[in-house]
Chain A
Amino acid sequence: MTNKDFHFVADIDKTQVAEIDAVRISDKPTNLYLDAWRDLRKRPMFYIAGLLILLVTTVAFFPDLFTQTPPNDNCLLANSNGAPTAGHPLGFTRQGCDIYSRIVHGTSTSLSVGLIVIVLTTLLGIIFGSLAGFYGKWVDAILSRAGDIFFSIPYILAAVVIMSVFSDFRNVWVISAAIGIFAWPSTARVLRGEILRVKQSDYVMASTAIGVSRFKILLRHVMPNSIAPVIAVTTISLAAAIVAEATLSFLGVGLPTSTMSWGNDISQAQADLRTAPQVLIWPSLALSITSLAFIMMGEAIRDALDPKARAQR
């Protein structure tokens, strides 16, 4: 090609022109959620978090599989703040109760609070977020401002106030409601933002032109395409809800002391922090590991659902 006017033609056999726009499909169907699922199964973090969550859930549902020692009865004051002995691997609380047994039996409380809060916030968040994002205009104005009001009040502070008012009705449902009622705006905001983006897409316009009703478009096309970030946020806020329950119980406005919960145990361990740190450490550890498991799961899901993050790995 040194000559300026040389007309070069590549070896035609070696540069065959393929059929224009030939259909090449892979072995397995792919879409956002299928891809995310395949990607998740390659992540060690997903397995670690998954195993921990499975373990915690099993403990919550079948505490008797893990311990035969009753958590409240048979507490001997002679064992007060005692060191581990055979059959009591983590030692004893101030009241002489088995710490291991109390942790095992407290799991279901923490987990139920987490789950109830999540169901509540997701429900409220999805209803308000999708209506605000999809219908816009005054619906959006009212719902978003309402959300802002709830959002501007720290939900722990709000829950403290609510729990103080309802001091006679403290149970798992009330505490979950107290946390959930102020935690939904973050879910709603995430969803609203996604819906604002998705509803501009041509496939929404195409469905409108077909004659699909607004509400059906919201359910069939807009929601499935905007829900991905909500799934990740929800998993992470499950951990936050478990911590919030412990915080409220620690502050003495959570569940009554008769209810077994990690927060209550941590609260009662305050007094003996210096002399018997194990009384505090074991329930705190259970709390940390459980919330960590959900946070890790949430992050794994978030990364798997984000095609950009996936491409960068």
Chain B
Amino acid sequence: MSTPLLSIRDLAVEFPNSQGTVRAVDNVNLDLWEGETLAIVGESGSGKSTTAHAIINLLPGAGKIAGGSIVFDGKELVGASESELEAVRGSQIGFVPQDPMSNLNPVWSIGFQVEEAIAANNPGLDKKAVRAEAIAVLQKAGLADADKRMKQYPHQFSGGMRQRVLIGIGLSANPKLLIADEPTSALDVTVQRTILDHLATLTKASKTSVILITHDLGLAAERAEKIVVMYRGKVVEAGPSLEVLKNPKHPYTQKLVAARKAAPRKEHMGTDVAVSISNISKVYQIKGSGFKSTPFTAVDNVSLEIKRGTTLALVGESGSGKSTVAKMLLGLEKPTSGEIKVDGKNIAGMNSRELFDLRRHMQPVFQDPYGSLDPLQNIANTIAEPLVTHKVGTRKEREARVRELLDQVSLPWAISSRYPSELSGGQRQRVAIARALALNPELVVLDEAVSALDVLVQAQVLELLARLQDELKLTYLFITHDLSVVKIIADRVAVMNKGQIVEFGSTKDIFSKPQQEYTRNLLDAIPGAKLL
């Protein structure tokens, strides 16, 4: 091929704001040849999605292309009329959106939505042919008995199945280019792997070019021949995947690659038991029709021990029951059976006074940095709340303690009078950690505490957590779905599946010689695991 299928030159995209305009994408150049897969990698706000949306001119809100050219298959797309773009969208360039939960219309059946896409791109087709084609598309997307599935609605599909449908729709018109915007970031790793494998098989067969947008450098290197790294709206590095990964030249790429490698961390194996969980189960009654309800076992006979001063990672996919275990340990949910002992004392037998005192010794940090701080309380009040609640110290002493805590999580005192909306996700999570540490707890339960953060911020928070553990002799229960994080932070790992613990051992053992099929699958599914 002498000319690329897609060629972007000096692309700039601007969004208006109160002060004028913000350049979200600046001076972006890239080439994509037929049959090639290219990954655009970057953190949130780097302009990677905006670049992709600009290609088909589907910029959100008031964003517009401020300059440059996008040549697709010999046609200039910048400045093309809406009808010209419509002819390209769908039939020539397919699009797979990020969030499978919100990108299918809940009031129409799956079949209707697939047929709609096919009819739009093949105006000549009659109803029967459209239907036959829709079934074929769903079958190709890997849905068993597509025939029956046509009549079902999006809520009857799992996240992975919905993403298959969206990929099917994206590929339904045999486009020359498929843009996949973080197609699997909302899915479990094992589901992610099968979906991406399937996408690769389909596009390879039809020689479709793919632009894969992702925040995960490992995933990009594994799935694409070429990588474009974006940072703050600019392309900072581009080249063949392995070359970029093994020999990163730009400082930003170097940091990204470094963040994926386990930083040296002191291992703690511990001796005495801080928490012992024995045979706990949690059964929920799911309301059915009428007065009937069916029992659902979220946690099934789980036993665990956490040694003092160590980190236990509880790993599992969504719905495995790992967060329920954490909630029961924190006394936010009552186990249906079994007992939890903290420092040798049984939680279940405690009265409210004893439970209140116990809360001084264990504190949680939750996943969502945007949801875990009250937006109407300033940072100082948020961090001081545990102190006020447990009547610790005078006003002056509490202020001094807040100062000390902010210092421990490397935040300036100046933010104490500010509100959470002014802070980034990583900073909020540091505030949440400071609040958790206010009462000098021994045990901190970290429920997906770094999952929502960008890679570099995540590495920074993990480093902070490791440092605090050394300084304050903390015990961590670290709940996560992300095994690459586990490797960095944990001493021991417990793998959960369907409410049960399937494997338990030291991090080294689990990663080097996993005993169970399920654990092996999880480890294999870590994107780019073999490359790094």
> Measuring CB to CB, which residues of chain A are less than 8 angstroms from any residue of chain B?
1-2, 4-10, 12, 15, 17-18, 20-21, 23, 25-26, 29-34, 201-203, 205-212, 216, 220-221, 224-225
Given contacts A15-B250, A30-B422, A205-B366, 10 further A-B contacts (CB under 8 A): A6-B239, A8-B235, A15-B231, A20-B456, A25-B422, A29-B417, A206-B366, A209-B330, A209-B331, A216-B389
Contact A2–B31 (Cβ < 8 Å): yes
Q: Is the CB of A202 within 8 A of B368?
A: yes
Stretch touching chain A among B159-167, B189-197, B356-364, B498-506: B356-364
**Contact: A211 with B422, CB < 8 Å?**
no
Given known pairs A17-B231, A17-B251, A30-B421, the reply for A203 and B373 (CB within 8 Å) is: yes
Q: Is the CB of B359 within 8 A of A211?
A: yes
CB–CB A207/B385 < 8 A: yes
Report the minimum CB–CB distance from B235 to chain A (whole Å): 6
What are 12 A-B residue pairs whose CB atoms fall within 8 Å in the complex? A5-B243, A6-B239, A9-B249, A10-B237, A15-B232, A20-B457, A31-B421, A32-B421, A203-B373, A209-B332, A210-B363, A225-B374
Give residues 61-83 of B contacting A (CB, 8 Å). none
- Report B355-382 CB contacts with A as 1/0, cut-off 8 Å: 1100110011011100111111110000
Q: Are B359 and A1 in contact, CB atoms less than 8 angstroms apart?
A: no
Given contacts A29-B419, A30-B419, A31-B375, A210 and B249 within 8 Å (CB-CB): no
| B415 on the A face (CB < 8 A) | yes
A15–B375 alpha-carbon span in the complex (Å): 34
* Chain A proximity of B255: nearest CB distance (Å): 7
- Measured CA separation A169–B247 after assembly (Å): 90
Q: How far is the CA of A202 from the CA of B366 in the complex (A)?
A: 7
Given the complex, which residues of B lie within 8 Å of A33, measured CB to CB? 376
* CB proximity to A under 8 Å, residues B396-421: 411-412, 414-415, 417-419, 421
Contact at B236–A21, with CB atoms within 8 Å? no
Query: Which residues of B sit under 8 angstroms from A224, Cβ to Cβ?
Result: 376
Which residues of chain B come closer than 8 Å to A8, judged between CB atoms? 235, 237-239
Q: Sort A-B residue pairs by CB-CB distance and give the 8 closest, nearest first.
A: A7-B239, A31-B419, A202-B372, A202-B371, A211-B359, A8-B238, A21-B426, A9-B249
Establish whether residues B238 and A4, one from each chain, have CB atoms under 8 Å apart when the complex forms.
no
Q: How far is the CB of B387 from chain A (nearest CB, A)?
A: 10
Report the minimum CB–CB distance from B523 to chain A (whole Å): 28
Residues of A within 8 A of B374 (CB): 203, 207, 220-221, 225
Q: How far is the CB of B140 from chain A (nearest CB, A)?
A: 29
* CB < 8 Å neighbour of B364 from A1, A206, A225: A206
Whether A29 contacts B30 in the complex (CB less than 8 A), given A21-B427, A21-B457, A21-B460, comes out as no
Q: Is B346 an interface residue (CB 8 A)?
A: no
Query: How far is B360's CA from A25's CA once the two chains are assembled, in angstroms?
Result: 32
Interface size class of B (residues with CB under 8 A): 35 or more
B interface list, Cβ under 8 A from A: 29-31, 33, 231-232, 234-240, 243-244, 247, 249-252, 255, 330-332, 355-356, 359-360, 363-364, 366-368, 371-378, 385-386, 389-390, 411-412, 414-415, 417-419, 421-424, 426-427, 432, 435, 456-457, 460
Known interface pairs A31-B376, A225-B376. Does A205 touch B332 (Cβ–Cβ under 8 Å)? yes
Cβ of A211 and Cβ of B356 under 8 Å apart? yes
Nearest to A204 among chain B residues (CB) is B374
With known contacts A1-B31, A1-B238, A12–B251 Cβ distance under 8 A: yes
CB distance from A294 to the nearest CB of B (A): 26
Q: Given contacts A2-B31, A9-B236, A208-B332, is CB(A23)–CB(B255) below 8 Å? A: no
Q: Shortest CB–CB separation between residue B37 and chain A, in angstroms?
A: 13
Are A23 and B415 in touch, CB under 8 angstroms? yes
CA distance A144 to B91 in the complex (A): 52
On chain A, the residues within 8 Å of B255 by CB distance are 17, 20
Complex: A25 Cα to B421 Cα, angstroms: 10
By beta carbon, the residue of chain A nearest B371 is A202
CB-based contact B378/A29 at 8 Å:
yes
Alpha-carbon gap, A12 to B248, bound state (A): 13
By the criterion CB–CB under 8 Å, are B411 and A23 in contact? yes
**A206 in contact with B432 (CB, 8 Å):** yes
Q: Specify which chain B residues have a CB less than 8 angstroms from the CB of A202 in the assembled complex.
A: 366-368, 371-372
Contact of A1 among B29, B249, B360, B377 (CB under 8 A): B29
B460 / chain A contacts, CB cutoff of 8 Å = 20-21
User: In the complex, A21→B423 CA distance in Å?
Assistant: 9
Residue of B nearest to A3 (CB): B31
Q: A29-B419, A33-B376 are in contact. Are A209 and B363 (CB under 8 A)?
A: yes
Give the residues in chain A near B244, CB-CB below 8 Å. 7
